Structure 1
Amino acid sequence: MNLDAASRSRGVAVLLTLSGGFLDAFTYVGHGGVFANTMTGNVALLGIEVAAGNWAQATRHIPPLVAFVFAVFVVHLLRLDAVARSIRRPALICLLLEIVFLAIASSGLVGASEVWLIPGISFVATLQTLSFTHLENLTYTSVMTTGNLRRAAKRLLEGLIPRYDRTALRDASLLGMAGFSFFAGAVLGGVSTRVLHSGALWISVLLLVGALMRMVQLVVWPGSKTGSEAPRA
């Protein structure tokens, strides 16, 4: 199995999506109601605060939006032919960068200023979702859940109406799993952030390291693949 196929496995998707929900809860609960990943939420909250005249709070939603756009730009550059010839594993590099950044933030060695922490998390999380785009043969996102739930509902209906379709129902279960993983990550993030504060980020680091190790395991020992992660026929 190659690295691209390993990155599409169910176990990797669960760990990445748990981390995605965790980071959104971490920044929202611990850093003034700002989302790390959910730009729709940040735009909505920005509009609400502007309408209320709460300019100080409104400006807190701008840095993650800027970081999101910058991350999209970086991933686009990594996919250009001239760059791709030199950087063979951009998804792996993006995941390693996210792990290193969150580990530094968790350590407390450089403080936890919102000036760099929130946009930094938004940047690396966006790198993650743009680098890991497939769960088996399905497109999904690991740092937000609206698209996953929409596609899960659509495939569920297609699996039941007008006739029973096992493939569609399996797709719905995979996307539903991604949605539930995001929810579980958000619960974990909300609880641990209230207890551990910035130290809670170590949990996200462990989730991402787990995803990395699972990919390595699948590449080095293909026989370790579970039945639930077997490719679709």
Structure 2
Amino acid sequence: MRQSRQMSETFRLGLILAISGGFMDAYSYLFRGHVFANAQTGNMLLLGVNLSMQNYGNILRYFSPVVAFTIGIILSDIFRHKSNVEWKLHWRQISVLFEAIILFIVAFVPQNLNLLANSMTSLACGIQVESFRKIHGNGIATTMCIGNLRSGTQNLCNYFMKKEKNYLHTCILYYGIIFCFILGAVLGSVAIKYLQAKSILICSMMLFIVFLIMFVQNIYLEN
């Protein structure tokens, strides 16, 4: 039996998106002043710590990316709800293209404007996390790992208890995305050493490749 799946939910696309997710977090943390692009829990933690220490000058530094990330989610939903309008592009293509353009601009933002650069990067991350939420029908995030770690481990436990291979396959799927996220962080770290601010252009390029791949609206996979 053959089953049609959206290209946006394929493993190959998820791999690229996960690599870009890790890359963005490494870039914002290592090069843009130790602020997370994706891990808003970390930003909220640092916000709370700085509030407790009365370091009020750092409040906007950590609060702004959280707000930008939220706006990115809102923008993604706007794209989705407007998809009933006759557009030539799928709404997810518009989302990922917009994300690629944002990161292209970030590459040319000087370091004395890190607040702007981090906010723009978090905006792109918010768009991605809301636009791409499934791989092979499983809820998977390509910009963070905690949910993937929980789901992957749960499926691993189910495999050992029930001996059903579908649980093992799903476990590998989740852990594979986590591995790619870490790989993206490694690539981002290495790229920063040589390209500095311009290293984020690599991430922008990856997302543009995703945009091009998505012109194939559906693929057929063996069930």
Question: Scaled by the length of structure 2, what TM-score is found?
Answer: 0.89
Q: List gaps (5 residues or longer) in structure 2.
A: none
Matched residue SS, 1:60? helix
* Counterpart in the other structure of 2:101: 100
Is contact 1:11-1:214 (8 Å) kept?
A: no
Give 1:117 shift: 1.3
* Counterpart in the other structure of 1:138: 138
Matched residue SS, 1:198? helix
**Structure 1 residue 123 and structure 2 residue 113: aligned?**
no
Deviations 1:153-179 (A, max 9, x none): 000110111x21100100000010011
Query: What letter corresponds to residue 126 of structure 2 in structure 1?
Result: T
Matched residue SS, 1:182? helix
* Counterpart in the other structure of 2:11: 10
* Counterpart in the other structure of 1:231: 221
Report sequence identity in percent. 26
Is contact 1:78-1:87 (8 Å) kept?
A: no
Aligned positions, number:
218
The equivalences for 1:177-216 within 5 A come to: 177-216=176-215
Give 1:19 shift: 0.3
The equivalences for 1:54-73 within 5 A come to: 54-73=55-74
Aligned equivalents of 1:124, 1:174: Cα separation in 2:
24
Query: What letter corresponds to residue 101 of structure 2 in structure 1?
Result: V
The 1:87–1:42 alpha-carbon spacing in structure 2 relative to 1, beyond 3 Å, is farther
Matched residue SS, 2:171? helix
Deviations 1:83-108 (A, max 9, x none): 332265221101000111212222x2
The 1:64–1:4 alpha-carbon spacing in structure 2 relative to 1, beyond 3 Å, is farther
Aligned equivalents of 2:24, 2:152: Cα separation in 1:
23
Out of 202-211 and 83-92, give the one that drifted further.
Answer: 83-92
Give 1:215 shift: 2.7
* Counterpart in the other structure of 1:227: none
Is contact 1:142-1:178 (8 Å) kept?
A: yes
Give 1:134 shift: 0.9
Alignment RMSD, CA only? 2.2
Is contact 1:22-1:185 (8 Å) kept?
A: yes
Matched residue SS, 2:170? helix
Deviations 1:93-138 (A, max 9, x none): 01000111212222x2x64522321111111111111111111121
Aligned equivalents of 2:222, 2:65: Cα separation in 1:
37
Matched residue SS, 2:221? coil
Aligned equivalents of 1:4, 1:118: Cα separation in 2:
34
Aligned equivalents of 1:193, 1:79: Cα separation in 2:
34
Is contact 1:136-1:231 (8 Å) kept?
A: no
Aligned equivalents of 1:59, 1:105: Cα separation in 2:
18
Q: List gaps (5 residues or longer) in structure 1.
A: 223-229
Is contact 1:105-1:117 (8 Å) kept?
A: yes
Give 1:182 shift: 0.7
Is contact 1:49-1:55 (8 Å) kept?
A: yes
Query: What letter corresponds to residue 116 of structure 2 in structure 1?
Result: W
